[in-house]
Chain A
């Protein structure tokens, strides 16, 4: 039976300092995050230093294929010396590879991810404001929610899905590859031009995604070089006997909330189906890396992909097949594993978005980023009588992702909101009630002075005279409001809390 699909996303943001040529991205990212955690919104009332991240559980070099990684596969480094803070909504906000990065708290469904992703945008906007006070006059830190500088450098928006450890990894690879290659038709954020060597803008004036061209392998441990479509990092951040966390690096960061809902929602369903053994037909794509690039380059959405058995199918046909099987799975198994209401919404929108892409993509410009951006670009070209080589189109492509409300083009593009901004504003400081992030967030809100460090699956408390106490949180669906809300409300001190928890 499918286990609850606990999900979250981590976004590395693009960063620039305007008004000076003398700046460095690591210092700017640190200044940005420190300014936020020291501010009124992001700060903890009675502390000056942010709660530190606890690295004891970080093992990004462990490979899910149950064998030692070959020498050439460089495990990612854990940068323990850089700014790293835990927020009261349960999120992690830190500097990673010269980018500010925010990981949402663990969420129980895709709708909750959309809420915390919107909250993350608000946190970055507040951070830019807080940083302005710390910079010399005339300088400004600007944040972009994108995945590439269009010059060959990419940075990620990763998704994480809680999977049953019993699922053979080979099956995960097949299912994931087919979905990741073909879901690009609605997850792409759009990019002007190509970053592949030798490719001209005449050949590829515009493409669906920012990330596709940065993938060179089918499966692997890498995340920064020779990126694989399926990443094998085996770091469950939970009970490693029961769970796997699938770390997905193959998607774009989305400005369109509906694209985020569909990206996370369809992927959660696709893996829940695998756990339920629900596939009557496994579609395998031949040469997935080539197919990933081809789908991104094909604005007509009509190019056939060759399958392993010699048949051909377009990305849309494969998505229709997955949707049809998902509907039949939902009828037989229900949607509890992906959240009832959320699952129902995702299945409806999945069908509508495929219909729209098939009949008239412009009809879903309010849901899909590459379509929304394409509409702005072609409108701009008509109005100013210019072509794809015009610098203004490349500027428009970048500025679509600018998070400053005064400059963001995505904010002006008529994208439909899936969650209300009032709710997202609350989610900036409040954790989700239905995962262990609730316990982490509430402890930070109430007992910040006694929390020494925290990470995904534990919190370390200082209870005064006694040794430090580590409270493990190996079950992502425990530590919810239902489980510990009353205990947290009643406890006046950390000692009392730990006594009541029996920890």
Chain B
């Protein structure tokens, strides 16, 4: 269900934009990113965990975290399901498997150090980095404290120092990155008494997990949690119980976080490139329409005026013609009258008539 959804990345309505968005995702999908060769990881064999909380104590010590209210050998803490928090980068939870008489199952929870971290993808100041050694580390010196990383993390790991007024940090497991650089084991792995935690190159740990599955038929489910989840993680889990019953989500899919956002990010430059073209075009068309409308109006006014003028001219002309005709008629009438009087009148009068 969710895979097909993620494959579908063309989110803009316009056909060209869909094509552009899809091509971007394709470009990213076409290039396969294998991650850093030989990067380190931890294999957590849940079937070996006895819930002693020594890993929690080890983590607390090496990271110099504040002492919890109840000491680490107090196992009553396990009665309540816990999550990671500002003072605890890792917690162990107890789960009761279905069926009577089954022994409880213990699962350690901490940052899974994704190969393609959602927190890093979501962070707008690059506070998170996937190191070549495998750890996802956090830089408090640039963090603004927007907490989008906590929203984005599918494993619900990052915590926040809500009680700090001016310098709160996001906190999470560092895979003991400074210790790794020194060639030491992560604090939790070192503290584990049952080898439920194994530290080593990720490729080798996956091989080791498969070997264990083969060596102990029936002990494990055929699923290495973290091999593909959200693009793969640097913590890998083996279990005899369905992961879903152990508070680990199996519906996360295999698409890394970056692929979920690449469609929307790919549309950003398309909007910048095409919106000004479209909007200026619409503006120019409305301008042109207005100009034509104004022009047509002016023309209509001129035409109307010309027509009125022409009509007036015609009227004037006919009036003049009429007047001229009337004039001529009057003249003729007068001439006729004069001639008639001239016939009856003496010669002298006729001379006067001629002069006029």
A binds B: no
Give chain A's interface residues, CB within 8 Å of chain B: none
- Using a CB–CB cutoff of 8 Å, the interface residues on chain B facing chain A are none
